Amino acid sequence: MAKFITIEGGEGAGKSTVLRTIQNYLQKKKIEHIITREPGGTVLAEKIRSLLLEQSDEVLLPESELLLFFASRHQHIQHKIKPALEKSLWVVSDRFVDASFAYQGAGRGLDDKRIQYLKEWLVGDLRPDHTLLLDAPPAIGLDRVKARGNLDRIEVEQIDFFNRVRHYYLELADKEPTRFHIIDTRLSLENVEENVQVWLRRIAV
């Protein structure tokens, strides 16, 4: 049976590592799947991703940012996510709608009602079956990001922005405990991978 899984969390929370762990597990279990990401996932959506993440002399306004994210997301849903689910593939996406509420809502201060309107219009009833929230204090995540170098437009935001994002994610996970599972990515790599595998064994039934 197809499952739609999303991975959420702040910058430097360890999504790349966790996605590799998930992919290795699904391959080992011979579960057909695709790994994708937001913004991006299709040719046009990846072009929008470049606009969203590249640093520019022209300020990208919060409202424009939100609309670009949903434009990319709509392409992603219609051309990649839904077709894969219709073929009974598991879909694992690095971020989805929750990220817009966390980043553009809590982070940028945009009205949730506007985001909800776009969600209802462009996403409809598509909803993740499970969401893995990778949690770490923003200071730790930003140190990891800075160590990689080449920061994108969002990664250069101030820590208060990321504190608001994290607070929203944790509140949402508390409101939807049946969908969310939190992984503390301050733990060692081995412990994180083990916790992800335990979670996968629970949902892969």
Residue 204 has pLDDT above 90, yes or no: no
Note the pLDDT of residue 123.
98
pLDDT (tens digit, 9 = 90+) per residue, 149-161? 889 999 999 999 9
What rounded mean pLDDT belongs to the chain?
A: 96
For the chain, percent of residues with pLDDT exceeding 90: 95
Place of tokens 């799947």: 33
Note the pLDDT of residue 149.
82
pLDDT (tens digit, 9 = 90+) per residue, 180-202? 999 999 999 999 999 999 999 99
**Residues linked to residue 20 through DSSP beta bridges, in sequence order:** none
Residue 75 has pLDDT above 80, yes or no: yes
Residue numbers of the domain that contains 45: 4-203
CB 146 within 8 A of CB 158: no
- Name the pLDDT band for 6 (thresholds 50, 70, 90): very high
* CATH number of 14's domain: 3.40.50.300
Note the pLDDT of residue 87.
97
Residue 77 has pLDDT above 80, yes or no: yes
Say how far apart CA 143 and CA 66 lie, in whole Å.
26
Which three-class secondary structure string do you get for the chain?
CCCEEEEEECCCCCHHHHHHHHHHHHHHCCCCEEEEECCCCCHHHHHHHHHHHCCCCCCCCHHHHHHHHHHHHHHHHHHHHHHHHHCCCEEEEECCHHHHHHHHHHHCCCCHHHHHHHHHHHHCCCCCCEEEEEECCHHHHHHHHHHHCCCCCCCCCCHHHHHHHHHHHHHHHHHCCCCEEEEECCCCHHHHHHHHHHHHHHHCC
Total domains in the chain come to 1
pTM: 0.96
pLDDT (tens digit, 9 = 90+) per residue, 86-115? 999 999 999 999 999 999 999 999 999 999
